[in-house]
Amino acid sequence: MDRFIIEGGVPLRGAVQINGAKNAALPIMAASLLADSPVTLHNIPSLMDVDTMMHVLHTVGADVVRDRETLVIDPARFNVAEAPYDLVRKMRASIYVLGPMVARLKKAKVSLPGGCVIGQRPIDLHLKGLEALGAKVRVLHGYITVENHGLKGATFSLEGPQGSSVGATCNTLMAAVMAEGMTVIHGAAREPEVRDLVDFLNEMGARIEVEESTLTIEGVKSLHGTHHTIIPDRIEAGTYMVAAGITHGDLILKGCHLPHMESVVSKLSEIGVEVEPVVGGARCRCNNCRFNPTSIRTLPYPGFPTDLQAQFSSMLTIANGESTVTETIYPERFMHVAELARMGANISVYSATATICGVEKLQAAPVMATDLRASAALILAALASEGKTEILRVYHIDRGYEHIEEKLAAVGARIRREA
């Protein structure tokens, strides 16, 4: 099992290329099953989750060919209405094939999803959306089974207890584009990744209008193939922004799209990290000796993203004062806290809020990654620590960051991967 060895204390300087967004690529790959001719996708990141989705698409009958950052998906032989447990347990996003199956094949049998272990992540809103369109849904023996006897447009809300759901919005949207009549979805997720899916579907011939958190969909009978370029990954960009800040470095993030990151850039400015636009991306640097403490509350977009909560928590462990981080999306997403404490961080968690009392320095220690974003948080902490840190179970990081050790090493980090 691979591990990272990181010797901290080096300011990162140079340029990092930001890849296509994983959280946009996965639903768009699934949505390609809706087309009646091949789809070509550009700016696809090289990630374990993308490989898993390619396998899922192969399993349901599609032909998928990859050439570096380009995928060609031919759904002509898409005829299998089942996604088995052995595949779906590896990645929660596999559930995105549910919507296309219901729309194209009139039925679906998809295992309840897996993915990172960060607390309960119910799929009730996915099912609510499909039922609102007229599908018959059952959950039995660990599988979701859906029958479509004619989807019809409807007006409903997908607002949940923690706000909007990206996954439910994407799945319902993919089913609704081929439903008869008009569908209006209130409480839809507003994330850039959802908007990228909307743009992709419209390029294939769908008729979708967006007004803040409301989607209006006029059903069509068929969709055609197209070419589409995936948006940049704002979570990857945010992680490297923290890497520049926590090491008191200076990084150019090539391909970064700052308009998608206003809440993140605002919070970095509060902490004392400077972010400014440059041609083709952004520059992130920090000259302050100590960071300012702050309060963070994760919220659906355009609020602060839950997928950057752990990374910012790492930076706040060495802030000059007390910070609070409240997790409203996944209240149990604090498994990185115990590992940061092993490195000398002073963090306590009560309910869904972490209180972080900044220390002067973190200390190297052997730690274990528990999920994708916690892995990134531990890498960032190690970059700022005194001594040599060993991070175990780093396979999590390969799900969402392309060649992270190579990118960091190229800008000065003392990091290596060992088997």
- pLDDT grade, residue 122 (50/70/90)? low
| Torsion 291-358-400-122 (CA) sign | negative
Greatest Cα pair distance in the chain: 64
CATH, domain range 3-18+232-418:
3.65.10.10
Neighbouring C-beta atoms of residue 187, cutoff 10 Å: 20
pLDDT at 116: 41
Per-residue pLDDT tens over the stretch 305-321:
999 999 999 999 999 99
Whether the pLDDT of residue 60 is over 80: the answer is yes
Query: Which three-class secondary structure state does DSSP give residue 135?
Result: coil
The CATH fold assigned to 22-221 is UDP-n-acetylglucosamine1-carboxyvinyl-transferase; Chain (3.65.10)
Per-residue pLDDT tens over the stretch 344-391:
999 999 999 999 999 999 999 999 998 899 999 999 999 999 999 999
- DSSP-assigned letter for residue 130: H
Mean pLDDT of the chain: 93
The one-letter amino acid code at 286 reads C
Nearest 5°: the CA angle 26, 29, 32 is 150
For the question of whether the overall pTM of this predicted structure is more than 0.75, the answer is yes
pLDDT at 113: 73
Closest-CA residue to 75 (of 42, 41, 46): 41
Per-residue pLDDT tens over the stretch 390-406:
999 988 898 899 999 99
The structural domains of the chain, with segments of one domain joined by +, span 3-18+232-418, 22-221
Are both 3-18+232-418 and 22-221 of the same fold? yes
The Cα-based distances of 395 to 100, 269, 401 in angstroms read 29, 32, 10
Whether the pLDDT of residue 118 is over 60: the answer is no
pLDDT at 388: 96
Query: Which three-class secondary structure state does DSSP give residue 391?
Result: strand
Phi, psi of 128, deg, nearest 5: -60, -45
- Catalytic site positions: 116
Are the beta carbons of 196 and 21 closer than 8 angstroms? yes
pLDDT at 115: 43
Percent of the chain predicted with pLDDT > 70: 98
pLDDT at 19: 97
Per-residue pLDDT tens over the stretch 158-213:
988 777 899 999 999 999 999 999 999 999 999 999 999 999 999 999 999 999 99
